[in-house]
Structure 1
Amino acid sequence: MAPRAFAFAFTFAATILASTACASPVARAPLDWMSGCWAHEHGDTKEVWSEPEGELMFGYGVSKRDDRVVFFEELRIEEREDGAVYIASPNGGPSTEFTETERTGLSIVFENPDHDFPQRIEYGANRIALVAKIAKLDGSGLQTFSMDRCKDDGESE
């Protein structure tokens, strides 16, 4: 190869590699639709999500019975290069990670086939409700939690 052709080929290849290395992660639909306080119609179960902070969202869930907390969960969603990861720590226990498998403008699905239950966590929203579903990967054990925006007192509207 002539020196001039080699220099051109080298410069071209270096430019392509540099632009690929500097490329931003794949654009994904934002999860800001999850932000806010969401409560079951009787106010016994509530889930609260922060606005996205860079690549992070923070949340928590609380379930009460007779004004006593019977379940709580610390939650986090991290946007990583290969997709979002949902991290849950129920009742202060060890955290479990679920990886994103699907996402649309108003829904997201996370899965962890190695976890006992749930193995699949799905969130979807419309203008007034957030719906969370948990199940095994085969769909068994499905539990659905439909929540409305909280009033100021933490109960659903």
Structure 2
Amino acid sequence: MKYIFFLLLLLVSCKPTSSIDEGSLDWILGDWKRVDDKVGQQTFENWQKSTDDSYQGFGYTLKAGDTVFKEYMRLYKDSTWILEVSGVNDSSVSFQMTDITPNSFTVENSQHDFPTKIKYWINDDSLKAYVSNVEMRLDFSFVKQ
């Protein structure tokens, strides 16, 4: 009987997980400054952890001291991870996570015009990202402040 209990415990604790659920996203946390910005602009992102399954992000661009762009981001886990972006369009846009590794994630929404795909990854001490669709890709490189 003791062996059956141990076997059941082992099976329950070793259940397989999908690649979309693996890994922590804590590597995105902090204050980030873009290093490949247009001349005369400064772009920043700030990421904070709300709960184990929820992160809040805020991105903005300054030009001549004025805020010329801002967006609010919420990365949360429902049945899968979702990135919700607001402040750019009239309503928020949700992107579903399609890939996650210990140091990256990709989200997609094929119904949105631009971007349809967003990828974030950590490379040494730099935060990298791109937004894209089939016609265009914009790359971003940030350093921690």
Asked if 1:146 corresponds to 2:144, the answer is no
The answer for unaligned runs of 5 or more in structure 2 is 1-7
CA positional deviation for 1:92: 7.2
2:62 counterpart letter in structure 1:
K
Q: Name the residue aligned to 2:102.
A: 105
**1:37 maps to what in 2?**
31
Contact 1:76–1:86 at 8 Å: present in 2 too? yes
The answer to whether the 8 A contact 1:61-1:73 is kept is: yes
Instruction: Write out the 4+ residue segments of structure 1 that deviate beyond 2 Å after TM superposition.
Output: 90-93
Contact 1:47 1:62 in 2 (8 A): yes
Higher strand share: 2
Q: 1:48 aligns with which of 29, 46, 49?
A: 46
Amino acid at match of 1:102: D
Q: Distance in 1 between matches of 2:54 and 2:128?
A: 21
Structure 1, unpaired ranges of 5+? 1-15, 151-157
After superposition, what is the alpha-carbon deviation per residue over 1:34-63, rounded to whole angstroms, capped at 9, x for unaligned?
A: 000111126700011003512110010001
Task: Find the aligned partners of 1:47 and 1:115 in 2 and give their Cα distance.
Answer: 22
Tell me if structure 2 keeps the 8 A contact 1:32–1:52. no
TM-score (norm 2): 0.79
Query: Which of 72, 75, 97 matches 1:74?
Result: 72
SS of 2:27's partner is helix
Task: Tell me how far apart the structure 2 counterparts of residues 98 and 29 of structure 1 sit (CA, whole Å).
Answer: 18
**Pairing partner for 1:89 from 64, 80, 86:** 86
Q: How many residues align?
A: 128
Give aligned-pair identity as a percent.
26
Q: Match of 1:33, SS?
A: helix
Tell me the CA shift for residue 32 of structure 1: 0.2
Q: Verify the 8 A CA contact 1:37 1:49 in the aligned structure 2.
A: yes
